[in-house]
Structure 1
Amino acid sequence: MLNLAEFAIRQRTFVLFFIALSVVAGIYSYFDLGKLEDPSFTVKTAVVVTLYPGASAQEVEHQVTDTVETKLQEMAELNRLRSLSRPGMSMVFVDLKESLNSEALPQQWDLLRRKVDDVKLQLPSTAQISIVQDEFSEVYGMLFSIHSEDAAPEELRRYAEELQRQIKAVKGIKKIELHGVQPRVVHIDMPDERLAQYGLSVAQVWNQLSTQNMTFEAGKFDAGTERIRITQTSEFQSLDDIRNLILKGGVSELGTGLIRLGDIADVTMGYQTPALTESRFNGQPAVTLAVSPVEGINVVSLGDTIRDIIHNYEQTLPLGVDISTVAYQPEEVQKAIDDFVGNLLESVGIVFVVLLVFMGFKSATIVGSSLLLTILFTLIYMNIAGIDLHRVSLGTFILALGMLVDNAIVITDMMIVKLNKGIERTRAAIDSVKETAVPLLGATVIAIMGASPVLFSKTDSAEFSSSVFYIVASSLLLSWLVAMTFTVLMCWLFIKPTPVGEDTKPSRYKQLVFWTVDNPIKALTGLVPLILVTAFALPYVTVNFIPQSDRPIVFLDYWLPNGAKIEQTSEDMRKVEQWLLKQPEVESISSYMGASAPRFSVTVEPEPFDPAYGQILINTKDYAGINKLVERGDKWLQNQFPDAEPRFRALKLATSDKYAVEARFSGPDEAVLHQLANQAKAIFATHPDAKYVRDDWRQESMVLQPVINQDKMRQAGINRADIAFALKRASDGMPLGQMNLNDELIPIQLRGTSQNMSSLETLPVRSLLGMHSVPLGQVVDGFELVAEESMIWRRDRVKTITAQAGVARHSTPSTVRNAVKEQIEAIHLPAGYNMEWGGEFYDEHKAVTDIFKQLPKAMLIMVIILVAMFNGFKQPIIIFATLPLAATGATFALLGFDKPFGFMALIGAVTLTGMIIKNGIVLMDQIELERANGRPLADAIKEATVNRTMAISMGALTTALGMIPLLSDLLFDQMAATIIGGLAAATVLSLFIMPALYRLAYKDKPQTTQTDAELKEA
């Protein structure tokens, strides 16, 4: 088998040429890679929306939601069904299994559509066709607002559409949506008095308007060699077309049966009333452009192009119309990359200084250049594999930095030792690789396996962190290859022998190692106090699953009681906007009424459409000012809007839970569920750090029900449909098709005399087919105002109400949950009812459970490698016995740095196992080698430990110190503290504990025969 060192030396011209090309390719790859702020992960959720006009929430639940859910439950890859039934609308959220990869989703969404199509004949006849929204997770990384105090809504729409057209032409744009557009509507106001005056029925007007607003096929005529198509359209294309429409069936001055619509109705252009959604920027009416780039694109370059387009377009806008930035991912991406590149360079500098101090200039330069070359090789791999530059991938570079020099340190140290013993440099290079290649490869693979649970896990949190494994694996394997070729070649070229005299007086460290080997039981006994202190300190470590983002953004969600009209929501939000704009921390605000802001982050799950809901996206001047703003805002909102449910919400990094602490109650009866939720909310409210306490069903809303008298209705010659149409015309208006105006389809609505609740008894009710009308009060026995459920949530087809609470920013969800856990779980549950925890605990439990479920796979691979390497079981057992030593250092590091334990800390702890085992292999392999060379047991252990201390401690020191810059990062700080403390403690302690365990595990006799030693070397 060709020795890599021998190849590198013999073919050094080619090797150096290839490395030079790789340096250029690596630099190119850095600039060519896709750049994102955070890694994207696939939201495996779609929504099936079905409108059922006129139905109550209970009717929607039983007649639509349950029917749809029954069919969708047949999907094999279904993980969970969540549904929301509201008056007139069903929303079924389809959550697929998290183990599905993104490539399998289109097939699943096609299957979902087929299932929905199959169920349409089982729905009520008046229910509309179900719509599948599988772009529920679409993320719009750039939000721009076109706003003006004076421009009409239609003008803002036109300006936004023109800008949308220009941006769409840019390569790399996936989708652009407009939010806050006020749709135009043609209103045909036709009082009942005029219908009676001209002897027309509602049905006549409706049918003739619909019939004469259609495009007809008129055929084709032969014209020589051609067939010419004939066009004939009677579609309305202007308001005058509608006004001049001649209706048949009545009596007027035009003659019997001919009436001009404009004579009996007012035809006007207006806007949808009430509005479905509204949008404002800094208090001015606005239209928001939401821009979604394609995946893998360099959003920084794309953002520059879009900014240029916007700048040029602004010059064409009239005075008073402005374009402002609401959210701009490219800026955040550039900031994140700049910060992490700075941290990376700082870590490289720290590593080089450590190497310089302990190894000298030449050795430090060789190892440092090997590190840089490994990073460049990894960038090339990332470019080929399509791994973007973002917070996690760059942070993983820093995580792996210390490990990337381990192999180079071992090779350099081995070369120096052999050269100093007088061995010829080519032989020294070949022997160094021969002796270390396989052990270092095994140790490298084991270090990679430490991060493999992240790969095996299929939760969203693991997918968010998946680049940790890919970069650790690729960079470590490349570091091994670089060490076996480039590093050894550099040592061959530049390292000179430096004979040193024999050290006659052992150092204190050597004396301590010797004492440990001679007194293994006493040494192991010394661990007992350390274990006890760690056990005492561990409960003081706080838990915080996923930290908040450090972007200077905070949301304000605002709910009025169910049933509130959007006009009231908008008015309240305007008062909130005025207050916010006066706060010193606020840079700008963008408000949305009736719906959430466009989804500009994958962790922000939008709220369903609700006229009682509004949201303000608040850009602050810096992240540090958010706490003061929230604290001040909570008090002001509570005083100003005591009946509302306002809530400030931070941007999370990797989870989309809406409330930090949630207790879910499931069961059949709505009244019982409300009672259980009320008990939970009362318990939540007792904790000083819990706030925004509520439940997701919220309040009941009021419904007006006419008490219809069947006999009177029959005598009057009308039916229920006549009453419904009369009420519809008097309130929202009846749809009558569309008008085609400059290729814009504008809805047409037929409205009657406007009424309010106090005058409903006098509302004329006309037969759709007849000419006569009667007052509504003549056919009803009165009106009842009753309360009904406005929202019915279900999970897996069972009614589920969720008691929710936010957490003060100085506290953590686990702190609040642990404090109320016993009381919540003590709530008496009737038979058939269940309780489970949701919120952050649900995500945390799911992710942690899955990581630990995958951990045995990684451990099994590690054990197989260790047994194969040492052809025994004692050595692997001794190495694995050192793993718990890391818990001591990790515990005190988290406490000392004041960091909580969360998901990233767990990833750090799992990755740490590979690092510790790798160090154990280096020491164990040297002990085995010393024994194979005929040394007595105790001497072999002592000599191996002393000889390998430099390589092991250097690797650990560079890894730990290299992670110092990550202590200031909100995502990686937990991981950094865990690895710094855990690796430091495990390294120091294992240099004593491993020798002691080995001394106890083996008897003092020759390890192998000469033949065995030769076989081992071979």
Structure 2
Amino acid sequence: MNPIEIFLERPRVFILTIIFILISGFFALNSVPRQENPELAQRWSNVQVIYPGASPERIETQVLEPLEAKLREVFEVRRLVSSASDGFSLTLVELKEDVDPSLIEDAWSEVQDKIDQAKVSLPRNVDTELIRSSGPPATLIYAIKWMEDGPPPKILMTRVADDLRLELAYGGGTDKAFLFGGTEEEVLIEIDNARISSMGLSFQEIANRVQALDNKRPIGVFTDKSSEILVKSKDNFRTIQEIEDLPIETFDGTEIVRLGDIAGVKKTPRIPSEEIIYVDGQPAILIQVHAAFQQRIDLYVNNLEKIAEAYDKNLPDELSVVKLYDESFYLNQKFDNLSWSIFFATNIVILLSFFLLGLRSALIVGVTIPLTICLVLLGCNLLGLPLHQTSMTGIIIALGLLIDNAIIMVEDYKFRRRSGHAPRSAALISFKHLWVPLAAATATTAFAFLPIAAGKGPSSEFVGGMAITVILSVCGSLFLALFITPVFLNLLEKIPLFKNQKLATEGYSNEDLARHYRNFLKWSFDKPRRGILLALILPTIGFLAFPLLKQDFFPELDRNMFRVIVELPPNSSIDATEKEILRLREEMYEKAGFEIKSDVWFIGRNLPRVLYNVIGGDSPLGNNNLADAFFISEDYSKMMKGLPALARSMVETNPDLRIIIDKFDSGPPVFAAVEYRILGDDPKVLQVLGEQLELIMNNAPDVFLTRADLSQISAKFEIDFNNSQLLLSGVNTQVLLNEISIATQGINVGTMLDGNKEIPLRIRGMKYQDLNDSIQYISIPGDNSLNYSSSFGELKLTSKPTSLARFEGSKSNTVQGWIWPDKLASGTERFIKTSIDKFKDSLPPGYQLELSGEAESRSESQSQIFSSAAIFFILIIIALISALNSFREATIILSVAILCSGLAFVGLVMGNANFGFIGLVGAVGLVGLSINDSIVVLSHIKEANENNDLTKDGLIDVVMRSTRHIITTSVTTVGGFLPLLVSSIFFKPLAWAMAGGVFGATIIALFYIPSLYLIKEKIT
């Protein structure tokens, strides 16, 4: 039995169905996870290598080559990008885009296994670690701040921050919790080189004796018949005094020289610090908390807020816990905006329906929208799809689409009633004639969005939730239109207001307008080529305008935050960087043409994962000359207007620094706007080619900064040892190297328990004002005399590239260019294209140039969509042929889809929107959406032709009948897009592409389809 007949005969079943949909939607709304951004598969990680004292060249040959060879054995690994500097390297490991998210963890487990296997062939003192750099972004950031004057007690602040971090980590629902800016405590033993020289001792001998005196270890177990007791020595490293009293040497069998006699011993923060954090100009310690996915972030934050507030109340007045960043604030803001957009769009759609179709249709629309939203929420709950900015936007996009089926059903029902059918008969006949075309139209829309939902890679994953909610919406609306709407119409017939048959012609009507429109249709169809040419005008304009469209990758992030990166010369210390940052910060506040609320500086490292697409800040190692910051402004619009001027001013007044001031972008991570990669064998040749490429990029007017991997030069001290002198003096080279290492860098010789924290003991030589003296005048005991380190070699100051880079196993030199915040990378790429082509042709044999950066990411993202679209395009063809039962008619509808891609470009031009990945998503979605009206018009024409031989006048009558609901569906669709057209930044290109295309699709449906049908059927 037809479900409509069940609902008509058993109204209670119908009412229970409606109640079930509403209750399911209500409970799903409260149980579906909420987060700001969609979850991206964790396809990026870094392999960190620490090899103390090794040069980049040594790290490449001894570590990176065998390590990369092992990692290449993992089938899922797509790309390996390595960089090495003195004593340190990072290898970015990226997995293939077609790796299913459910298999990501297995892939990373295999990567870890390969790293463990590679360790066997690596030098013994090499430390390797796999750092997972993806996952949830920061949810909360707290700062521990010192509220009094004077230098802050960083050791105390670090311990307080670490305690709070642990409490927040165990608060429930936390994925990770990190601490930034914390001070590493140590007991520093500074050896007086002059004193140990007079005693004939070396640094290594003192280190060995301190280690030998450390009693912290078990001795054994005492066991008898009834008990078992552990035997151990008493800890003798408990206080600074005990360490100072350690005996080091004896004279004449009676005099003891203790450690405190030859060294200063103190508990101190480790100097130099690896990283320093400043919040609003004051030193601070940060706790960054990452909430796990698949939960309601607003409830999670409320829970952690209570923990942080309770902790803050127990702190002394001098310390305070300050919240710097709260993702739930932006989440709630987005949900409020999206909720308002849904409410606004719903009312627009209902009012337009009332004006064009009358009260009956407006009531149906008013019922259809909340029921469909409830079905979508139920579907999200069953699929485990969280509500976030893209999935919620999908519901807004669908608001105009989901009522199309209902409007068509209502208009057809009214037509059957006007034709004399009873209410029950009208409902069944409308179902019989419409279920195939409506199902076909819904299928084509769903298939058009399926490439976006099923696409691989980060770009498709980011917008996939939007496509899923659109598909759920149109499928839900099809169910409601076929089985719920006819029953509602029958129930309305029982209300006295709707029994009046005059209301069957509800909605706006104008006889003069109808007469002129009929005459225009008659003129158009008198010679069908006229109708075809009219329909082709807008698509042709769109295709011609496409080359003129500005291209981007993803729109900017609509958040009141911007980023500042400052890089000093390579040999700058972290203290020098700190001093420069404090000066720059004051200058920025003075020059900013907008109000800044707060700023957070990470000195000595890149930004950690503050936002979902910020990566690269996993380690502070090797970044003493770098500072990275995010600023929070009071107003987003004012910030975007004032940011370019601020960037230009700061760059112009600080020519000796590399300063990048830019907005945050959305979408997958991109490190530089314009980027090229040179591959080859000789680092010197790569360096020269990189300098040439930098000159080309600097000629572009929008480029203000360029950087090549091999153009960074740093100074280094190198000791040229005299092997003959070493042999004559009886000094072992390894001993000499150890002495210099301990004197300059130090060595850990044990630990001291301070409360509940183990503090390392480090022996180091005293620092001299002159670095040259610190290295040259280290005493080295010989066989019969005492020598200085300078006696065995010459100390030279050299300059070499700071780092080397590798890409996919080959040496590389990546050249990056940054453009001003208000410019697009595509403009720069077009400007330098001719010069780049000439440069590429002039490369030496064996060297190649590859495009990277935003252009590469843009190309990859678009290819992901097209690769998926091919399969679903075939499914659209199958659906059309099955619904229309005609190859020729299916071809006509497919030609509509092609024409409507040009209409998307018209929409982008109308909205002054850029064509990027989001615009492409809109164009792909429009292909399925735009043919719906054409399918319905074609089905009406075919129905009329089946009943009687169709004439031109009869065809005009069919088009006149279809016009009202075709125009209504188009207007309501655009009305649903209106909130996105007006207020959305991220989805503006998509909204304009689809909204502009819908109007053009209406013209195609009303003129192009009937004209081709006249030609096909040879109707005269």
TM-score when scaled to structure 1? 0.94
Alignment of 1:702-713 (within 5 A): 702-713=715-726
The one of 659, 674, 683 equivalent to 2:687 is 674
Aligned residues of 1:179 and 1:598 also touching (Cα < 8 A)? no
**What residue in structure 1 maps to residue 1012 of structure 2?**
997
AA in 2 matched with 1:111: E
| 1:780-814 residue CA offsets vs partner (Å, 9 max, x unmatched) | 2x222111221212110112222222222332111
Pairwise CA distance, 1:429: 1.5
CA distance in 1, matches of 2:216, 2:454: 58
Give, in angstroms, the shift of residue 839 of structure 1.
1.6
Paired residue type of 1:920: S
Q: For each residue in 1:904-937, what CA deviation from the matched residue of structure 2 results, as whole angstroms up to 9, or x when unmatched?
A: 1111111111112222221122222222213335
- Kept in 2, the 8 Å contact 1:723–1:765? The answer is no
Q: Deviations over 1:722-753 (max 9, x none)?
A: 33223223322222232232231212111123
2:728 corresponds to 1:715: yes
In the superposition, the TM-score normalised over structure 2's length comes to 0.94
Q: Structure 1, residues 977-1018: CA drift from partner, whole Å, max 9, x if none? A: 11111110121233101111111122459xxxxxxxxxxxxx
Any idea what SS the aligned residue of 2:956 has? helix
Q: Are the counterparts in 1 of residues 608 and 614 from structure 2 also a CA contact under 8 Å?
A: no
The equivalent of 1:195 in structure 2 is: 196
What is the 5 A alignment of 1:940-955? Answer: 941-955=955-969
Task: Give me the whole-angstrom Cα distance separating, in 1, the residues matched to 2:611 and 2:776.
Answer: 52
Partner of 1:383: 381
CA contact (8 A) 2:525 2:1011 kept: yes
CA contact (8 A) 2:447 2:928 kept: yes
Give 1:463's aligned amino acid: E
CA distance in 2, matches of 1:290, 1:108: 27
CA contact (8 A) 1:280 1:286 kept: yes
8 Å contact kept, 1:213–1:737: yes
Return closer, same or farther for 1:771/1:100 CA change in 2, 3 Å cut-off.
Answer: farther
Query: What one-letter code is carried by the residue in structure 1 that aligns with 2:723?
Result: Q
Alpha carbons 1:363, 1:412 under 8 Å: kept: yes
- Decide which of 900, 915, 923 is 1:886's aligned counterpart: 900
Q: Does 1:557 align with 2:556?
A: no
Deviates more, 1:598-607 or 1:814-823: 598-607
Partners of 1:147 and 1:322 within 8 A in 2: yes
Task: Assess, with a 3 A threshold, how the Cα gap between structure 1 residues 344 and 745 changes in structure 2: closer, same or farther.
Answer: same
Once the 2 structures are TM-superposed, how far is the Cα of residue 546 of structure 1 from its aligned partner?
Answer: 0.4
Q: Does 1:600 align with 2:613?
A: no
Residue type of the alignment partner of 1:988: I
Q: How does 1:972-983 map to 2 (within 5 A)?
A: 972-983=987-998
TM-fit CA distance, 1:479: 1.1
CA shift for structure 1 position 695 = 2.3
Instruction: Give, in whole Å, the separation in 2 of the partners of 1:378 and 1:179.
Output: 41
Q: For residues 771 and 580 of structure 1, what CA distance do their matches in structure 2 show?
A: 62
Structure 2 CA distance for partners of 1:297 and 1:773, relative to 1, 3 Å: farther
Structure 1 range deviating more: 977-986 or 133-142: 133-142
The RMSD of aligned alpha carbons is 2.4
1:912 to 916, 926, 929: 926
Per-residue CA deviations over 1:70-112 (Å, capped at 9, x if unaligned) read 1111111111111011111121111110111322111111111
Residue of structure 2 equivalent to 1:446: 444
Q: Distance in 1 between the 2:635 and 2:783 partners?
A: 67
8 Å CA contact 1:58, 1:789 repeated in 2: no
Structure 1 residue 648, shift from structure 2 partner: 1.0
SS in 1 for 2:818: strand
SS of corresponding position for 1:603: coil
Amino acid at match of 2:432: K
Matching residue within 368, 371, 375 for 2:369:
371
Residues 886 and 981 in structure 1, CA contact (< 8 A), matched pair in contact too = no
Do the aligned partners of residues 504 and 321 (structure 1) sit closer, same or farther apart at CA in structure 2, a change above 3 Å counting? Answer: closer
Residue 869 of structure 1: how far off its partner (Å): 1.5
| Closer/same/farther in 2, CA of residues 63 and 450 from structure 1, 3 Å limit | same
- Please say which of residues 281-290 and 428-437 is displaced more in the overlay: 428-437
Check if 1:455 corresponds to 2:434. no
Residues 453/799 of structure 1: CA separation in 2 closer, same or farther (3 Å cut)? same
Provide the secondary structure at the position in 2 that maps to 1:963.
helix
Please give the alpha-carbon distance, in whole angstroms, between the structure 2 residues aligned to 1:683 and 1:159: 52
User: Which amino acid in the other structure matches residue 285 of structure 2?
Assistant: V
What amino acid is the match of 1:337? F
Could you tell me how far apart the structure 2 residues matched to 1:628 and 1:524 are?
45
Distance (Å, rounded) in 2 between the aligned partners of 1:493 and 1:771: 113
- Structure 2 equivalent of residue 209 of structure 1: 210
- 1:154 aligned onto 2:187: no
Give the partner amino acid of 2:1002: T
Amino acid at match of 2:228: R
Find the counterpart in structure 2 of residue 48 from structure 1.
47
Give the alignment partner of residue 532 of structure 2, picking from 509, 513, 524: 524
Distance 1:91 1:169, change over 3 A: closer
Q: 3-state DSSP class of the match of 1:929?
A: helix
CA deviation map 1:787-844 (0-9, x unaligned): 1221212110112222222222332111111111121221121111111221211111
- Displacement of 1:547: 0.8
Separation of aligned partners in 2, 1:103 and 1:645 = 41
By how many angstroms is 1:887 displaced? 4.4
1:788 to 800, 811, 834: 800
Aligned pair 1:759/2:767, yes or no? no
Superposed, 1:537-552 pairs within 5 Å as 537-552=545-560
Q: Tell me how far 1:170 sits from its aligned partner.
A: 1.9
Residue of structure 2 aligned with 1:966, choices 980, 985, 997: 980
Task: State the Cα deviation string for residues 200-228 of structure 1 (Å, max 9, x = none).
Answer: 44343222322333543333334554433
CA distance in 1: counterparts of 2:765 and 2:171, whole angstroms? 47
User: What does 1:615-626 correspond to in 2, within 5 Å?
Assistant: 615-626=628-639
Offset, 1:351 = 0.5
Which residue of structure 1 lines up, in the alignment, with residue 853 of structure 2?
A: 839
> Aligned equivalents of 1:134 and 1:165: distance in 2?
20
Identity, % of aligned pairs? Answer: 24
Distance 1:467 1:456 in 2: 10
Cα distance between partner residues in 2 of 1:393 and 1:623: 23
What is the aligned partner in structure 1 of residue 132 from structure 2?
A: 134
Per-residue deviation at 1:956? 1.7
Counterparts of residues 811-850 of structure 1 (less than 5 Å): 811-827=823-839, 828-850=842-864
Task: Tell me which of 586, 604, 608 is aligned to 1:578.
Answer: 586
- 1:437 offset after TM fit, Å? 1.8
* Deviation sequence 1:299-330 (CA, Å, 0-9, x none): 11222232333333333333343333332111
- Residue 800 of structure 1 is aligned with which of 805, 809, 812? 812
C-alpha distance in 2, partners of 1:680/1:420? Answer: 74
CA distance in 1, matches of 2:219, 2:538: 93
> Does the CA contact (< 8 Å) of 1:47 and 1:136 recur in 2?
no
Which of 877, 892, 901 is matched with 2:891 structurally?
Answer: 877
Partner of 1:1014: none
Listed as ranges, the matches of 1:249-264 within 5 Å are 250-252=249-251, 255=254, 259-264=257-262
Distance 1:491 1:371 in 2: 16
Q: CA 1:219–1:595 in 2, change beyond 3 Å: closer, same or farther? A: same
CA shift, 1:532, in A, is 5.4
Could you tell which deviates more after superposition, 299-308 or 555-564?
299-308
Matches of 2:888 and 2:400, distance apart in 1: 29
8 Å contact kept, 1:87–1:790: yes
Tell me: CA distance 1:312–1:770, structure 2 relative to 1, closer, same or farther (3 Å).
farther
Structure 1 position 405, deviation (Å): 0.4
Counterpart amino acid of residue 430 in structure 1: L
Moved more, 303-312 or 287-296: 303-312
Q: Partners of 1:586 and 1:672 in 2: how far apart?
A: 45
Contact 1:84 1:793 in 2 (8 A): yes
Unpaired segments ≥5 residues, structure 2: none
Partner Cα distance (1:203, 1:558) in 2: 40
Q: Distance in 2 between matches of 1:917 and 1:306?
A: 50
1-side partners of 2:358 and 2:399: how far apart? 20
Q: Which amino acid aligns with 2:959?
A: T
Other structure's SS at 2:572 match? coil
Is the partner of 2:798 in helix, strand or coil?
Answer: strand
